[in-house]
Amino acid sequence: MKYHSEFTKQYVDDICNALNEKGILMHHFNVPYSPENFSTLTKFLQEDILMSSDLYHFLTNKGLINRGKCPYTGQRIDDTFPSWSFMGSNRVYASHEGYEIMQREDNEEFEKVMGYPKPQRNNPMRSSRGCYIATVCYQSETAPEVIQLKKFRDDTLINFWFGRLFISTYYLFSPKISEYLKNKPKINTIIRKTVLDKIVNKITKK
């Protein structure tokens, strides 16, 4: 892992040690946590810490996530500084300089995976495009659940490289899937109750 400051090294070591002492393994490879398994601090924070509510809350309760210092630079910060979040609740704060580093590393990771630079904020990916599958399942583009899913797409998913990857993949396949789902109310009900309702409940949970 590339360290941006002495604090970064201590920050990552402390988190890895706490997870290993608890016997928690990396969900990707089922091995103990180690800085060597992550190319960047951003990848470490976004893919493992922020995406897992269990890990996030465990580490937060131990005071290891937001310590009043930027994970990248070690500068003193508070909750008025920029932050990245997942699901609107798991959040890590960074200094302005640290936030720029996070954005740069996220952009580089996206380009490495996708083979082209990440879309800008005004890219059509952040647009009024519908949630095709959800619209079919809820039978209305203006259903509150569909609006919530669009908001989550535009306010949260778009901010992460894996979120943008999901969005791109979704729009490759969802038109054909939604076309298939038309006039299949029983299947739509199953998808709505077992998948979509749970996602909506999760992203709207305070």
Q: Report d(CA 179, CA 194) in Å as an integer.
A: 20
Closest CA to 19 of 42, 2, 44: 44
Question: CA dihedral in degrees (45, 50, 54, 58; nearest 10)?
Answer: 60
What is the rounded average pLDDT for all residues in the chain?
84
Residues 171-195 pLDDT 10s: 778 878 888 898 899 999 999 999 9
Widest Cα–Cα separation across the chain: 59
Q: What is the pLDDT of residue 85?
A: 77
Q: What is the pLDDT of residue 127?
A: 45
Burial degree of 200 (CB within 10 A; 0-12, 13-18, 19+): buried
Domain edges within the chain: 6-114, 132-204
Selected residue with higher pLDDT from 116 and 43: 43
Selected residue with higher pLDDT from 171 and 102: 102
Host H or E run for residue 92: strand 90-93
Q: What is the pLDDT of residue 129?
A: 60
